[in-house]
Amino acid sequence: MRGTSTKALLSEPRRHLLEAMQRLNFGRIEGLVLRNGEPVFQPAPRIIQDIKIGGENGPRPELTIEDFALKSSVIELFDHLARIGDGTLESIEVKYGMPFKLVVEQAA
For 43-92, write each residue's pLDDT tens digit: 999 999 999 899 888 999 999 999 999 999 999 999 999 999 999 999 99
Domain for residue 2, yes or no? no
pTM equals 0.92
Proportion of the chain in helix, strand, coil states, percent, rounded to 5: 30, 30, 40
Tens digit of each residue's pLDDT (9 = 90 or more) over 26-44: 999 999 999 999 999 999 9
Question: Where in the sequence is the domain holding 95, given as residue range(s)?
Answer: 7-53+61-103
* Beta strands 87-95 and 38-40, pairing class: unpaired
Domain for residue 71, yes or no? yes
How many domains are contained in the chain?
A: 1
Indicate whether 3 pLDDT > 60.
no
Domain for residue 1, yes or no? no
